[in-house]
Amino acid sequence: MALEDQTPTQLKVAKFVVVATWIFAAASFFPPFSDSGAAPLGRALFGILAAAHVVELALFGNTYRQSDKGLAGHIVQHMIFGVLHHTQVKRELESSGSGG
Which pLDDT does position 97 carry in this prediction? 76
- List, for residues 3-41, the tens digit of each pLDDT value: 778 888 998 999 999 999 999 999 999 999 999 999 999
Mean pLDDT within 39-52: 97
Cα–Cα distance for residue pair 37/80, rounded to 1 Å:
25
User: Is 88 in contact with 94 (CB distance < 8 Å)?
Assistant: no
User: Is 86 in contact with 20 (CB distance < 8 Å)?
Assistant: no
Mean pLDDT within 68-94: 93
pLDDT greater than 80 at residue 95: yes
Which pLDDT does position 12 carry in this prediction? 92
Mean pLDDT within 43-71: 94
Cα–Cα distance for residue pair 95/73, rounded to 1 Å:
20
Which pLDDT does position 20 carry in this prediction? 97
Mean pLDDT within 73-86: 94
pLDDT above 70 coverage of the chain, percent: 96
